[in-house]
A and B are shown apart, each in its own frame.
Chain A
Amino acid sequence: ELKVEQNPLFLSMQEGKNYTIYCNYSTTSDRLYWYRQDPGKSLESLFVLLSNGAVKQEGRLMASLDTKARLSTLHITAAVHDLSATYFCAVDLMNRDDKIIFGKGTRLHILP
């Protein structure tokens, strides 16, 4: 059974600081997704990572995928309050099943 572990599960940080969220998974997959969810809202797709070594950046967020280590990271640079949200990684079972498995989510709280 595929397990997806995110850490930390909760992160409180100051504006202007850098930090990284980690997503480890337990089986082979070359496809991983990052989503953002604001309180009471739906999930917004942030990044789609489709191969080993994939790196994508959007504003202050950068995501990477190391399929050999079964690890993805979401790096936050010079955090701003607007990035406060819950971030989920989700791993695709790649044709073994029609579904993706979500991590538990990282609740990010950025203090002004």
Chain B
Amino acid sequence: DTEVTQTPKHLVMGMTNKKSLKCEQHMGHRAMYWYKQKAKKPPELMFVYSYEKLSINESVPSRFSPECPNSSLLNLHLHALQPEDSALYLCASSRIAGSSYEQYFGPGTRLTVT
């Protein structure tokens, strides 16, 4: 199983809503990532979890709150987002962070903030 799954596929939320994005992998990977991708741009790294601990936060606003409940799951909690946060949010995993193993990407969640 070389699959990273993400739910939901699409999400529309108002600026006062609270929602969560979910990511799951069962490849035994110990590194998981959140990226944000705007149209026609490369993915921008947001967070890295290594062995279920947050190892990188790329100065992401606090309205984005990551959580890694266990080695297979990664959540991104959203609160009080702005319209400019509308983007494709990609989750990825790799065998170990900082190693020679490629990152496997999930299908993404298309987020629209109204």
Asked if B64 is at the interface of the complex by the 8 Å CB criterion, the answer is no
Asked if A99 is at the interface of the complex by the 8 Å CB criterion, the answer is yes
A interface secondary structure, majority: loop
- The interface size bin for chain A is 20 to 34
Q: Number of B interface residues, CB 8 Å?
A: 25
In the docked arrangement, what's the CA distance between A33 and B103, Å? 9
Asked if A71 is at the interface of the complex by the 8 Å CB criterion, the answer is no
Whether B50 contacts A98 by the Cβ 8 Å rule is yes
Q: Which of B42, B92, B106 contacts A103 (CB 8 A)?
A: B42
Whether B55 contacts A98 by the Cβ 8 Å rule is yes
Q: Give B6 Cβ to nearest chain A Cβ, in Å.
A: 9
Q: Give B59 Cβ to nearest chain A Cβ, in Å.
A: 13
Asked if B74 is at the interface of the complex by the 8 Å CB criterion, the answer is no
